[in-house]
A and B are shown apart, each in its own frame.
Chain A
């Protein structure tokens, strides 16, 4: 590092504050409710390569710290050098190289000059209210291409030498459903970039341009050193893990994400080879095939938790490399739709938790409930044809247990850390009574440190013509798993008229029409448990039973704790626990995925699933998904009925189904390349 250790801290404070000032200016003036309610926006300062060297500590989206403005800057610079007063705009997931990851996210970049040369870039983004496309707010899981998802803006100048491009704005406005909101947002973003520019100029005037440039490099070095120190806590070695999305919305087949982590002295390589092909729905995660925030988010959480003093810049990620094959769900090829990429990101997080847990049990909490669902109620509005839409509640699961700490009940900050909605607000907007909104007992995975409980919400409907949307529901098939003897969390369920004769278990819903008098119950997944439940402090088990979070049955069955009224029967408990330990309870599979995964993998084991994915890669991108679905339909003809028959019903004859899968792979797909064959052999 070039700067002194005092100057470095001063520059650290000032540059971070600069990005925070930009964030405050942006959120103050922006109009989109995504910005106002969910803080779905970002600001940063980028170096000459387009990587962020300064980032807010707690304003806006935390997860975009490692985005790369480089491809967007290069694309525009190729049309002529950037001049003072230029501003770049893009929302294009592919042309921006993964800077924008779905199209409602508008990205602006402004070069900041000093003495005629660029000294850094200001960046901001917002999730705008609407960018056109097939549905209001532009996102539907059913979309298959970005042509359905709205107006595509490759990197271009929205402002040239201080003059805003009004023709561009005219095209833009004509393509948005709420142009006045979008234009206000664009002006707010431009204003925030000007705020950052003024602050950078003031810092340069005070400290000199040499110090300013040196600080950019030193801050990154500082973070790189710190993250290396943290990552050295991960043992050296090669670790494999995979997990599943229940389906891709448009077809009933699970989607697998696979990662091989190779660790050497604090350097981490993530290889996503063996991950399933890009999907014909909006779950694709555009990463440009490079190290990308969505692929490394959980490592950032690890580093941030073990060294909260780390300066926030891309140096945090500089000890990570990534390989992600083209044409997979994690590196899709244009024009694959990307609108709900965040749902996939939740599962990427779980996979990274998995490889880290394989490397060192207890390093990181077990997976959370693994779902983020805005439950929306639509009512016919009187007089107009438009329905009244209201987000009744955003449901999450509990967080996972970790060594020394239970998971947190009914909350999850893993992806978004959103506020919930006061029931009194929801009930004032639509004719729904929220009969219950609380914790779901016995849903957190049992463990020495148990998983957080999921949620239970029961809605009662009073208005004719009401429908309920629950898009983003996940973990209906595969559970949040437990580790080190801990048990998995309960799966999600959606139940119509629970407890009545006409009760129906619905599984996932997309849009459900309900009648007055109906009730609808959502049960979300609990987090995975950590450690053998038989080693849990019996006082904690008693506390949970008295609090109504763990049933007496579960206390005995899962934890081996026998209760006598409001007290622990310590003699009976010691005896029961002793018996269970001697028969090996808690020495089961690690991680414990629950029974569903074993059923699935009785046909789709890692070897064949990896080969399947790799041989699909040999087909042209456009046909991979359709061939995959044709094969799976033959192997799993009853998969669409899974809500009724369960996974075991869909995989009723695993040996025969596995033989058929093998035969179809060999008949329909090109052979493995020698490199891929070697890769599989190394597993």
Chain B
């Protein structure tokens, strides 16, 4: 039965574990695996995990077709300031582009908070007599002698990488690229990143920052990719290797080497992609929007999936730095399992923002933590079982957790440590619920149309507390919530975003349509050229185009989809007119008015190019007779101490309908089902938790 089996593997590297999901594509099976991470050499854990999976299957390395891998190496290097020494080359007069950033300080209240850390010092910024005007015309170009001097300075400074940002290079990336090439020739072996080649969008600080971030992690990521390739080659793996990207897609190793900045926020993006994938065909995306709820050790992240598509942000953050690249929008909404419960000087109960993280971790980990965390609270309440956390690999010390909770209890009028734990969970839950409410208010969406997809180690444990508080009626728990990001990597298609500035005021004549079509053609040519280089496994190609538009004088844009992305199919349609009409309509919908006179400005055209890989079909779960498992119970503090049945997830039969209160245990998480809720497993093994009717949404 061996040779016809083919495999695809999704891998997510976390701080503690490296998660694997392997799909056997013909047999439609998923195989899950966890390997202890090797922070000093993440590629080692990947190689070990793949070897273990192959051994388990009795398969050969040659049977693997695709490996898709998400890494937070770049992100961690940025947050922990472990990137390389970067020289930044800018136009004359722009030396302080990184010093000034966008002029804001982190707080209006707190004068002790400084500005963000400098990725490049002022001393590491070099001005060259080269710059463009806003229309792309070259005002000054650096002569070879100036370039020789510059290269000599950079060489003398011993920099590991170079970033180049000329003012107005977004309007024409060519002069900046020429300058970058000239530096490459003069500085062999030093990677040079040109800002507009990465992302040609207006705003010099944000563009310079993208180039600097790319350069900052370039040597580190290149070395990692080389090491990984070597490990895989040693295993005999010939599979195509893809790296997950910020937009929820993947890209080839070659692209990731050139553009490591596209990988930095890919971790959470993969989870969101997976959430979108497991709901396909099971909810009506026109009616229901999904909120993902990923509760990890230090924080909880939420993102939204509207109309079946993960929401994309154009201005997110990496640490303290604004990121102008399109990324799957993820917001931190509050506490994680390691967030600490404490009382302020007036005795008021607070949770976070401090977290015990993974080290020392919660008190119950027994690694030196002394302040009680959410995990300790859930343990004291009986929701978590001390012997079954992380499949028993992390025995929890319940006595220590209760003792630590007790120290917080004095003055709260509570003596029982479980009640203190419940109060801590309550405070954390209210905070998260208010953040989610605001998130939806910002988008003009209604909580009653939202369903929550809970994953991460602690997501399913607290999801129903959150749903109760926020007034959400359905919570979805995927089969393997602890390896959900690896599943997202497995399911992702090749995808990359492209942008071109336009700066035209639509006059409504044919010239507009011609100009727009010309830019779309350029985008498409570029995108097709890129997709051709992404490997032979890419099947169908898809291109979606959108336009950033505004009324003259507005300082923000609306993103309007351009519905017909293939100009040749409908040359005579009035594309410009249709775009303007769509913009007016969107403005009317969001702001309640439209501006008839003065025209509409087209600022950028964007294209998302997708190369579909062969789809992975999620397997159906084999039916299991629920009666086969002897019902176990334990005491859990809900509204009061309650005897709650405990079920093993693997033994829940497809289609079974179970009434809460209930605890569902599985190796990577524990799901708490409250009274008044029902749990139902679908044919893919996903648990659907629904609130019984008659209960009103709460404040």
Contacts and interface: CB of A to CB of B under 8 A. Distances in A.
Contacts, number: 200
A37 B550 CA distance: 14
B100 A300 contact: no
Interface in B4-24: none
Contacts of A547: 121-123
B170 interface: yes
B412 A6 contact: yes
Nearest to B435: A17
Q: Taking each of B99, B109, B168, which has the highest tally of chain A beta carbons within 10 Å of its own beta carbon?
A: B109
B413 interface: yes
B96 A410 contact: yes
A29 B412 CA distance: 42
A350 B590 CA distance: 42
A207 B427 CA distance: 15
A4 to B, nearest CB: 6
A425 interface: yes
B381 to A, nearest CB: 15
A427 B133 contact: yes
B204 A37 contact: no
Interface in A371-412: 394, 396, 399, 402, 405, 408-412
A504 to B, nearest CB: 22
B4 to A, nearest CB: 55
A682 to B, nearest CB: 32
Interface in B480-526: 503
A629 interface: no
Contact of A24 (B115, B168, B412, B438): B438
A197 interface: no
Given A405-B112, A417-B105, A9 B202 contact: no
Interface in B344-402: 344-350
A5 B591 contact: no
Interface residues of B, number: 68
Given A206-B699, A405-B114, A548 B99 contact: no
A217 to B, nearest CB: 14
B411 to A, nearest CB: 7
B535 interface: no
Nearest to A304: B109
A634 B308 CA distance: 76
Interface string A490-534: 000000000000000000000000000000000000000000000
B593 interface: yes
Interface string A431-449: 0011111110000000000
Contacts of B423: 6
A399 B348 contact: no
A408 B114 contact: yes
Interface string B419-450: 00001001100110011011001101000000
Interface string B582-595: 00000000111100
Contacts of A308: 109-110
A46 B347 CA distance: 25
A546 B121 CA distance: 10
A549 interface: yes
Contacts of A408: 105, 114-115
Tell me which of A10, A16, A63, A180 has the highest count of chain B C-beta atoms within 10 A of its own C-beta.
Answer: A10
Contact of A438 (B95, B134, B503): B95
B93 interface: yes
B108 interface: yes
Contact of B444 (A28, A205, A458, A546): A28
Interface in B86-102: 92-96, 99-102
Contacts of A229: 345
A365 interface: yes
B348 A9 contact: yes
Contact of A365 (B101, B111, B426, B435): B111
Nearest to A417: B108
B109 A305 contact: yes
Lowest 10 A-B CB distances belong to which pairs?
Answer: A17-B434, A304-B109, A438-B96, A420-B103, A202-B699, A436-B93, A413-B105, A206-B699, A547-B122, A428-B134
11 contacts: A5-B411, A29-B590, A63-B108, A207-B699, A405-B114, A409-B99, A419-B102, A419-B104, A422-B205, A423-B204, A425-B202
Interface of A: 1, 4-6, 8-10, 12-14, 16-17, 20-21, 24-25, 28-29, 31, 33, 36-37, 62-63, 180, 184, 187, 195, 199, 202-203, 205-207, 222, 225-226, 229, 300-301, 304-305, 308-309, 364-365, 394, 396, 399, 402, 405, 408-413, 417-420, 422-425, 427-428, 433-439, 455, 458, 546-549
